[in-house]
Structure 1
Amino acid sequence: MQEIFDLQWQLGVHILKNIGLDYENTIRDAEKKPVWIENYRKALSAELAELIREVQEFGIGSSNGKIEVVDMLHFLVSLSHIVQVEPSEVSLTGHDLDESAFPSCAIQTFLALDDLQNSLKWKWWAKGGGFKPEKARKAVLDLWKCFGDFCALFHMDLETVKKIYLEKNRINFQRQEQDYNEDTKTEADNRSIHA
């Protein structure tokens, strides 16, 4: 898991450098930390939605479903960097689940994402609040449990996750070099991944 955390750090450095930011300073800055937690939370939510769509259309067994699970991992590791969850604190050991557990896993992930959002002062109309780092850290650890369950549902062990992650990480670097953006986004490059 340490290698995945290190590679995601390198990707974060590369991506933020492309927009004129220093990754380490950005995720350590007390004022910027909540902004980037929210950025990565939204991105992870979008990947969860893509996974749900994939499962609705093709079922649990699809290769692209595995890729969508690993896409969630990218943002989960970046969130872990921010709230200082270490690789040694996480495990891909999920519960023994069958396909019928997918909706429950999706709901638990959504609830953990909601807890993460609630660790931030996002209700601009409410008094008090503020960033709650302990609550954010707990929510990220809960997201790791959800991720482990998704891995179990898709029959992915650490080696399978790592293999897919390495291929997707390479693609993500290529996308950055090719000025990847909303207008040019395509999933064609994902089809080269052997899940």
Structure 2
Amino acid sequence: MTNTPVPTTPDSSDPAVDGTDGVLDAGTFDRIKEPRAENRLPLGDGTWHQLARQYVWVQLISSGIIAVLVVAATLVLTLVLGQMWAWIPGGIMTVIMVWTIAITPRQARSYGYQLRQDDLVFRRGILWQRVVAVPYGRMQLVDITHGPLDRGFGIAQLKLVTAAATTGVTIPGLRQEAAERLRDTLVDVAETRRTGL
């Protein structure tokens, strides 16, 4: 018995799926970062696509702005208004923001998505790992959003909405062109795989 692929179904020979056309993988990291632990969630087989490198800069700038605002508010409260208690929450928030800035590059490399025969698999996380498989037939909405900073760096977020809210996935940091290509591919495939809701 031979398996004949359906033309609109993602497979490894489809350039839009495996990235051979260069759109999904242009400007991304070269490989996905895996945790070193023996009990990590495995990547499995297939082609993993990653986030755009600009995503790191957007996250660093956003976190840096928040850190500066926290330090400024803490200084105003303590030095100008004499509220010495502000050092405690201000110091905690500053440490959290510095830690966030420090781990952002490694964290961004842990994100990845894979287009398989029947579903899209999304993974993220080093310490707290999450792997979600979203069946194409259960997708109800594919949404692209981007804020001003995202637009400045040419990236966007792609959000997949399903009937079950817990299986929804947001893939951040895709190049605008890659997000549009992925959206079109997922909509085309979802139409052929629509299941009764």
TM-score range, shorter chain: under 0.3
Greater percentage in strand = 2
More helix by share: 1
Which structure has more relative contact order (CA 8 Å, sep 6+)? It is 1
When normalised by structure 1's length, the TM-score is 0.26
Larger Rg: 2
**TM-score normalised by L of structure 2:** 0.26
